[in-house]
Amino acid sequence: GLRGSPTIVKRVFAPPPRAEKVAMVDVSSRPPAEALIEDIFKRQPKLEAELATLARGY
């Protein structure tokens, strides 16, 4: 609201916990950025093709 105006809080809540947990990425044999991108593309197979298509358009 405006500065100095009263604010009435009806309810405070926390978001529900995420169903998906943390996944560790092994970076011992390659650079961390490369390992992360490779892991993302494994989990989202269509993403690599979509990004390549977008890159060609620019």
Q: Is the residue at 38 inside a domain? A: yes
Q: Is the residue at 31 inside a domain? A: yes
Q: Is the residue at 33 inside a domain? A: yes
Domain count, the chain: 1
The closest of 28, 26, 45 to 36, measured between CA atoms, is 26
Cβ burial 15-29 (10 Å sphere, 16+ → b, else e): eeeeeeeeeeeeeee
54 HSE (CA, 13 A, CB side): 6
What's the rounded mean pLDDT across residues 36-58?
90
> What is residue 1's predicted lDDT score, i.e. its pLDDT?
57
Domain of residue 35: give its range. 25-58
Q: pTM of the predicted model, to two decimals? A: 0.55
The answer to whether 36 touches 25, Cβ cutoff 8 Å, is yes
The answer to whether 43 touches 57, Cβ cutoff 8 Å, is no
What's the rounded mean pLDDT across residues 35-49?
92
> What is residue 55's predicted lDDT score, i.e. its pLDDT?
92
